[in-house]
Structure 1
Amino acid sequence: MKKTTCVLLKALLIFTFFCLPKPIFAQPGNEYKVASIGFYNLENLFDTIDSPTTNDVDFLPQGRLYWNTPKYVSKQANMSKVISQLATELSPDGVALLGVAEIECRKVLEDLVAQPDLKDRHYQIVHYDSPDERGIDCGLLYQAKYFQVLGSRAVPVPLKDPRTGVVDFTRDILYVAGLLDGEPLHVMVGHWPSRRGGEAGSGWMRAAAAGVCKYLSDSIQAIDPNAKILIMGDLNDDPDNKSLTQVLKARRMADDLKPGELYNPMYDLYKNGNGTLAYRDSWDLFDQMIVSKGLVNKTAGGWQLYNAHVFRQPWLLQTEGAFRGYPFRTYVGDIFINGYSDHLPVYLFLLKKKS
């Protein structure tokens, strides 16, 4: 344990660390422990209070969307309902960790984990304000009885326009290092730049975000080639786009990964017609969870990837109208329809042999 902790401390470099009690896992079955991790884009989880430093004007009681307390309360209940059911087929206590995107501030996460459907899990929060103009951030929720946070930071994503040379910043990559049932795990949560302006014209921005994740991953694996790394988020690209395949080097097959390459278990899901959001009657799988070789290399021991899923339930889809079959979201245009999100959540299972 001293050796692995030392490696983790070196990878964190300038981070500050905290020690928590050792977690105890529920252990279904006779041979393996099970851990589940998820990601969910919460689609504009804003409070109703004006923030003077961000452009949240649409999500105010007198704003374009008339975002008020009853709507906020309903949104929180809807989000907690979804999260409470993620991965419960193998993990009755739900996901041990949950990456989230499109949250305005820490307070909305505090309200979320206090919801009746979630409060008994005692989720803790990792969150940093990002430079996003609208003020939407990423965060990580975790059950402290399963995951010990050792350190975290917000990693900037500089965007240098290839045409003008002007540098701007998008949402940070949230990096968290910790121990999952006593075993080192590195987690990155991202919300890569959108396709506004077209897929081709904006692709360089997602490549930049992918490059930051690749740099972090390579730096960690340079210290520990068998490091267990999980990159998750709304990447605004599909598994077969260049940002994933060429920059991040996330592969479709887990076998024979070369040094620095990652495995994308969402790739086959996508090719089999699964998606997490719909656009013009076509499904994309932007919400992804990508793992390092250490999580698919059985000789490395410890936690290993079992499988990945899109959480697709009939009640998460619209049942009528022009967007029938699409994710049941909060608004259609300016009309409040009291749904969940325009994205479906994703999750995966990790297994580890009992000692």
Structure 2
Amino acid sequence: MRLAVYNVENLFDRAKAMNLETWAEGRPVLEQFAELNSLLGEQVYSDAVRKRMAELIITLGMEKSDTGPFVILRRNRGGLLKRPKTGGIEITATGRADWVGSLELRDEPINEHAMHNTARVIRDLKADVLGVVEAESRPVLRAFNDEILPAVAGSPFRHVMLIDGNDERGIDVGLLSGAAYPIGRMRSHVDDRLPDGSDGLVFSRDCPEFEVALPDGEQILVLINHLKSKGYGSTAAANRRRRAQAVRVAEICAERLSEGFQHIAVIGDFNDTPDSDPLQPLLQAGAMKDVFQHAKFDDGGYPGTYGLCNAGNKIDYILLSPALFSRVKAGGVIRTGMWPGSRPKRWDTYEELKRPQDAASDHAALFVDLDI
């Protein structure tokens, strides 16, 4: 069977702030969104909190309206703020109980060429079981599978599953599999809590477990992950969160191995390199092995999986339990949907990929063939 993983970076719609020309442009918006969203969730709004809320609402372009260029403030009931005729923002609520509503990132459609190039990558993967990262929802994933894959002569998957995670931007993880590989029992970890007493959530999205039945009666347990990004917030806080996630994933794998599961795969975008401190509990201390280290795995001449695929951009993974690692027949990387650079062009791409905006994703797709 062929197991694969691919960060599709959304299929139909993506937050406008994440769709700007450069990450440097979108990062401040995402940071401000995250800060304002956190403050709006406070049970009590102090004077300092109300002042900062007002500043952020103005900075996000919502001084005159609840709809800004990148963010929408939805107010369903109760009173949160006033907009004086003289300008500015006055926060009238004294706490979260005073109003009902939410803060949301505005979406915009994905470039059509990019969408079809994503489908071409998935077509060429020819995976029996495919984990996807940054898919908007199960209905979107189903629509992509049923409508876009056939449009590029791809074969739709029989089974499509995605469990909503903790990220409010619509970047969840899901699993697709062929008719001979039905998805059985599933387990979510969206509510796993940090062990530091803060009552914070471990996973930024989720770490769902999918039991996939194999034609010979065996099964493989697939865990899909998208660990904490380095994208916004402090580096120290992001590293702590990512390390806590790595620790928890390693614990889950150890628990399943002790329960008798032999064939376990952890796949996804870990947002860090193999030599990084946050990933050591999973990559070094845990039982799982990186398929890149297998003698039969071909990295295509580049050690990385993101951007220009240098060693510092190795952030996507397929980790296998010892029993599964011993069953590896081959493996590799598909980069034909990635922008190859221009000086020089690093790899061949689809003919339809003529600009960076047409890239299917900034990530490569990984696959491994297993004798199982």
Q: TM-score range by the shorter chain?
A: 0.5 to 0.7
Distance 1:118 1:244 in 2: 38
Give the partner amino acid of 2:329: Y
**Displacement, 1:212?**
2.2
Distance 1:307 1:204 in 2: 34
Q: Does 1:167 align with 2:200?
A: yes
For residues 120 and 218 of structure 1, do their structure 2 counterparts lie closer, same or farther at Cα, with a shift above 3 Å needed?
A: same
For residues 84 and 241 of structure 1, do their structure 2 counterparts lie closer, same or farther at Cα, with a shift above 3 Å needed?
A: same
Are the counterparts in 2 of residues 177 and 184 from structure 1 also a CA contact under 8 Å? yes
Q: Deviations along 1:6-32, whole A, 9 cap, x unmatched?
A: xxxxxxxxxxxxxxxxxxxxxxxxxxx
For residues 149 and 44 of structure 1, do their structure 2 counterparts lie closer, same or farther at Cα, with a shift above 3 Å needed?
A: closer
Secondary structure of 1:248's aligned partner? helix
Q: Does 1:78 align with 2:117?
A: yes
Q: Deviations along 1:239-292, whole A, 9 cap, x unmatched?
A: 2223333x11448xxxxxxxx61211224778x741111379764111100000
Are the counterparts in 2 of residues 278 and 326 from structure 1 also a CA contact under 8 Å? no
Distance 1:267 1:198 in 2: 31
**Displacement, 1:319?**
4.6
**Displacement, 1:336?**
7.9
Distance 1:219 1:161 in 2: 17
Identity of aligned residues (%): 24
For residues 336 and 292 of structure 1, do their structure 2 counterparts lie closer, same or farther at Cα, with a shift above 3 Å needed?
A: closer
Map of 1:186 onto structure 2:
221
Are the counterparts in 1 of residues 268 and 316 from structure 2 also a CA contact under 8 Å? yes
Distance 1:75 1:312 in 2: 14
Map of 1:317 onto structure 2:
339
Normalising to structure 2: TM-score of the pair? 0.64
Secondary structure of 1:45's aligned partner? coil
**Displacement, 1:324?**
6.3
The Cα RMSD (Å) is 3.6
Give the partner amino acid of 2:173: C
Q: Select the residue among 283, 291, 296 that pairs with 2:320.
A: 291
Map of 1:203 onto structure 2:
239
For residues 192 and 54 of structure 1, do their structure 2 counterparts lie closer, same or farther at Cα, with a shift above 3 Å needed?
A: farther
Q: Does 1:239 align with 2:274?
A: yes
Are the counterparts in 1 of residues 8 and 118 from structure 2 also a CA contact under 8 Å? yes
Q: Deviations along 1:219-248, whole A, 9 cap, x unmatched?
A: 111121x61100000001112223333x11
Map of 2:330 onto structure 1:
307
For residues 192 and 327 of structure 1, do their structure 2 counterparts lie closer, same or farther at Cα, with a shift above 3 Å needed?
A: farther
Alignment of 1:320-335 (within 5 A): 320=342, 325=346
Distance 1:204 1:222 in 2: 27
Q: Does 1:263 align with 2:296?
A: no
**Displacement, 1:47?**
3.4
For residues 176 and 80 of structure 1, do their structure 2 counterparts lie closer, same or farther at Cα, with a shift above 3 Å needed?
A: same
Map of 1:98 onto structure 2:
130
**Displacement, 1:79?**
1.2
Distance 2:3 2:253 in 1: 19
Give the partner amino acid of 2:160: I
Are the counterparts in 2 of residues 177 and 186 from structure 1 also a CA contact under 8 Å? yes
Distance 2:317 2:311 in 1: 17
Q: Does 1:347 align with 2:340?
A: no
Are the counterparts in 1 of residues 303 and 309 from structure 2 also a CA contact under 8 Å? no
Distance 1:281 1:248 in 2: 22
Q: Structure 2: give runs of 5+ residues left out of the alignment.
A: 16-70, 75-101, 350-354
For residues 280 and 113 of structure 1, do their structure 2 counterparts lie closer, same or farther at Cα, with a shift above 3 Å needed?
A: closer
Q: Select the residue among 154, 165, 170 that pairs with 1:130.
A: 165
Secondary structure of 1:81's aligned partner? helix
Q: Deviations along 1:13-66, whole A, 9 cap, x unmatched?
A: xxxxxxxxxxxxxxxxxxxxxx11110001133438999767340x23xxxxxx
For residues 240 and 319 of structure 1, do their structure 2 counterparts lie closer, same or farther at Cα, with a shift above 3 Å needed?
A: closer
For residues 166 and 218 of structure 1, do their structure 2 counterparts lie closer, same or farther at Cα, with a shift above 3 Å needed?
A: closer
Distance 1:219 1:280 in 2: 34
For residues 265 and 198 of structure 1, do their structure 2 counterparts lie closer, same or farther at Cα, with a shift above 3 Å needed?
A: farther
Distance 1:284 1:306 in 2: 25
Are the counterparts in 2 of residues 278 and 327 from structure 1 also a CA contact under 8 Å? no
Are the counterparts in 1 of residues 133 and 173 from structure 2 also a CA contact under 8 Å? yes
Are the counterparts in 2 of residues 97 and 143 from structure 1 also a CA contact under 8 Å? yes
Distance 1:189 1:150 in 2: 15
Give the partner amino acid of 2:4: G
Are the counterparts in 1 of residues 123 and 155 from structure 2 also a CA contact under 8 Å? no
Map of 2:31 onto structure 1:
none
For residues 104 and 56 of structure 1, do their structure 2 counterparts lie closer, same or farther at Cα, with a shift above 3 Å needed?
A: farther
